[in-house]
Amino acid sequence: MKKIFILIISSIILTGCVKGENQNIENSLPTMMEKGNYIILDVRTKEEYELSHIKDAINIPYDEIDEGINLDKSKTIFVYCQSGRRSEIAWNTLNKLGYTTYDLGAFSEIDLPTEE
């Protein structure tokens, strides 16, 4: 299951969902996943998150992301939302706050296990 998860995340990232310059995740993703060195962040509303979300994702709505959030800066953060618009805003904000962040885009386009 872990290998499938790594392959799925790799294909998502390698098909252009990653934003930013000079960020080469291709070589480091398997290591991050094996070490659990990542956070999957759902930036939709709490109601959207409660309906369904990527397994093990945490929910912080994009408009609540500011200097007051307390996420582990040693971990890579993968963000997503419903359509990709809010995740891009969150991606920009998190990068400005010093986090290493990748935008997975729209929830419906991410082929990862979900839970309700």
- Structural domain boundaries, residue 8: 2-115
Does pLDDT of 11 surpass 60?
no
CA R_g for the chain = 13
Give how many domains the chain has, as a whole number.
Answer: 1
Are 11 and 110 a contacting pair, CB within 8 Å? no
Tell me the Ramachandran region of residue 106: left when phi exceeds 0, alpha when psi lies from -120 to 50, beta otherwise.
beta
Percent of the chain with pLDDT over 70: 71
Taking the C-alpha atoms of residue 25 and residue 101, their distance in angstroms, rounded to an integer, is: 11
Domain holding 61: CATH number? 3.40.250.10
Reported as a single tens digit per residue, the pLDDT across 25-51 is 444 545 655 677 899 999 999 999 999
Does pLDDT of 22 surpass 80?
no
